[in-house]
Amino acid sequence: MKLSVYYIVKNEIRSLPESLLHTIQFADQIVIVDTGSTDGTWEFLQKYRLHEDFTVHQELFHNPAGYDASVSRNIALGICVGDWVLALDGDEFISADEGKKLKNLILENSQFDVLKQPVFNFMQHPKYVKQPYYLNGTAIRLFKNKDVIYKYNIHPELEGWKTFTTIDIPIYHYQFLEAESIEEKTRFRVAQMNKKMEKTGPSFKNYLHMADIFRRKAYWTGVKEDLLTSIYNLQKALDIENNNIAWNIYAQMVFQLNESAELKAAAAYIKSKKKQNKLMKNILVQINKKLEAGNGSQIGKN
C-alpha cells in the first residue's frame, strides 16, 4: 500500500519547510502544486525537483477572483500514484510520529473510502496564550485514490466516495498567525465569493460562506466590524433558508456582542420572522438575559 501526500501552496515559505520535514518521513510520494507564490516558496521547492518521490508543479492563476480551487486539487490528484491520498495545505502538517501510524490505520480500515481526521488550529492571539490550539472539527483529507474528483471553486468538496470512518491522527493548521496573513487571505476569499455571486446569484450557501470568511477574521483580529459583517451575511443567508445550523452560528456570533443597541438589533431580526421555532425563541431568551445583565464578553477593539 502506497501513500501519496499532496500540497496546494501559495506563499507558504514560513510554514511549508517545517511541514515537509514531517511528511517526508512517512509519505511514499509528495506532490506540490504551487498556485503562484511570490515569497520564495517556488524557489525553495526547486531543490526537490530531482527527488524521485517528489513532483513539483506550478499552476499560475493570473486572475485571483477567478481562481478555481478545485482545479489545482484535481491537478494534484491526477499526479498522485498512491493507493491512498492525503491532502494538505502548506500551513498544515501531521507530525512524523503520527504520520508513521497512518499506514497501519489505513490497512485496518481499508473497507472505507474516506478516513476523516480532526483538524487543530494553532493560535497566537494574546487572549489564547493558555490554549495554543483548538479543535476545528473533522475534515476529509485521507481517501482512496479511486474514482474521486473535486468540485466547487470556493470550498472544494471531494466527490465519488461512499463510506467513511474517523481516525484520531490529527492535522495541525497554522492558519492566520499574523495580521498581514489574515488581511491577505480575507481579501482573496472575499474576491472569490463576489465573483461566484456574480455568476450564480445570491444563495443560502454563498452568504453562509461569506459569513464564515468574516467570522474567522473576527475570531483572530477581535475587530467588531468583521463580526457585524459576518452577522449581516448570516442574516442574508437565513432570509433565504431557515436553517438551524445557521441559527446556531448566528447565536454564537450575536453572543459576542456587548452593546445594547447591537443586541437589540439582533433580537429584532429574529422577531421579524413570522415563524419562530424553539431554537430561535431560545436565542431571544439568551439575548434578553444578556441585556438584563448589562454585561457580557466583548469581541474586542472597535
Q: Which residues are CB-contacts of 34 (< 8 A; sequence separation ≥ 6)?
A: 9, 10, 41, 42, 45, 56, 57, 58, 59
pTM for this entry: 0.64
Residue that is last in its domain, among 148, 173, 198? 173
Q: Is residue 187 part of a domain?
A: yes
Task: Identify whether residues 211 and 151 lie together within a single domain.
Answer: no
**Which residue has 452577522 as its cell numbers?**
231
Residue that is last in its domain, among 117, 150, 173? 173
Q: Is residue 298 part of a domain?
A: no
Q: Return averaged pLDDT per consecutive 10 residues of the chain, 302 residues in all.
A: 92 87 91 87 81 68 55 90 94 91 93 92 53 69 94 82 93 67 80 86 90 82 88 94 88 88 92 89 90 58 38
Range of the domain at 215: 179-293
Which pLDDT score, from 0 to 100, does residue 296 have?
A: 43
Which pLDDT score, from 0 to 100, does residue 218 have?
A: 82
What is the largest distance, in Å, between two alpha-carbon atoms of the chain? 67
Q: Is residue 301 part of a domain?
A: no
Q: Is residue 300 part of a domain?
A: no
What's the number of domains the chain is made of? 2
Task: Identify whether residues 105 and 217 lie together within a single domain.
Answer: no
Q: Is residue 167 part of a domain?
A: yes
